[in-house]
Structure 1
Amino acid sequence: MSTAIATTAGDLRRLAGRALRHEARTPDALMVNIALPVIIMLLFVYVFGGAITTGSSGLAYVDFVVPAVLLMAGGYGAALTAVSISREMTGGMIDRFRTLPISGWVVPAGFVVASVVRSVVATAIALAVAIALGFRPSASLAEGALVLALVFGYVLAVSAVAALWGLFVRSTQAAEAFSFMVIFFPYVSDGVVPAETMPGPLRGFAEHQPTTPIVEALRALLLDQPMGNAGWLSAIWLTAAVLISVPVAAVLFRRRTAR
């Protein structure tokens, strides 16, 4: 059993490394992954920041919006997993993998691992830019560890759902639509503007969609504020996304690669 686990772990490491090398060979896509959240942050802070109030929170806008931008940074890179998997499924590379003595689920899992590594780096760069713009987190060491865990969990959940989407759709163009959905959700949450300022139906959606508690939990941890229900709601959403997406993606992969 230990030999089988070690072999599978080695296969997963090699496939994740392969995916990361592919990213390194397409610097334009890599730069977009890193630059897009930074551009969004600059736009919000310097263009819209003076016109947007943060409602009852009383926070400076840069402090208010940074958690949402961090999710955009990690989520956009994670969402690209759908495109990578769709490209492999339609480009014939999966047929070559099927001739190798590896577990089928390791192939999409390799893309998920690579996505987590890439997206966590992009999030760290976005945080560094935010600090340069005046963001001053006051998190303790324990709260900082929870921030890392929450960002990691979010990236993992989005990557898992992206893998499922990439296996479900039949073209890379359809797979690319997932990136738009991931970028869209933070806008209609409590991340960019306070949900309390939105009209009725939109406010109801913003308050009950999964991105809002994650943003609020990040904001509370980074700024050492009360978290309320945001922490356990975030854990429920992220855990459910992974536990549902992973087995369904495994079934889809087996069906699409069956002869």
Structure 2
Amino acid sequence: MECPGSPERTSGWTPAEPGFYLQYTRRGLTWNWLKGPRRRRTRGLEKPRRRRHDSLALDLETVLFVIVSGAAVAGAIGCVFSGRVAHSLLWLMFTFFAVAGAFLMAAAEMLAAIQILVYLGSVMLVVQFGVMLTRRRIQDVESLPTVNALSAVSGIGVFALILILVRALMEHPMWGDEAAGSPTTLEFADAIFNDWTMATIILGALLAMAMVGASYLVRDERLINLLWDMGAEE
């Protein structure tokens, strides 16, 4: 006997799955004249979704580098265009901090420490004392056209040099791999205080002489006479 729900008894009606034909209803059947029974797509046959371009994704390191470099450039611009010497000094200190952050991102901890200790701890301190102890009033001087032209040419030349250096760095991506094998902070310090001990001592002596010379230039005769009289009275 033939099953009444078999494919031979139905014209174009085929069950979605083989099995008990008597238990199938109209909902369980699929109407198809030419292609046969429809099949559900599996997950493996689904079209892959479009992904965003990797170039548009900014990682944390890139964002930090943009922030640090922008801070350094902003500090340099503020130092140049500031109307007062004290404000220029503060902008310059801010720039040095930003440069130290760039050194830290480049895995150069020793250079970052030198940047903070030498420039912020000694040089900027001397400049600050020089500004504070100088009693002469800094007046605005009218700039000459020749000086303005030379300044503009110098600025354009420095900007072009920076662009050339940036292009050279972008064309040599292998430099980063070579820098990965650079000496560590311990090896760098060992080389300074063992192989270059005399050069370090001479450099320290030059800095001390510069500090003494700056103190001599900004001395106040009245203060020196007052201290001399106090010592003579005692």
TM-score by length of 2: 0.25
Computing the radius of gyration from Cα coordinates, the structure with the larger value is: 2
**Of Structure 1 and Structure 2, which has the larger fraction of its residues in helix?**
1
Q: Which has the higher contact order (CA 8 A, sep 6+)?
A: 1
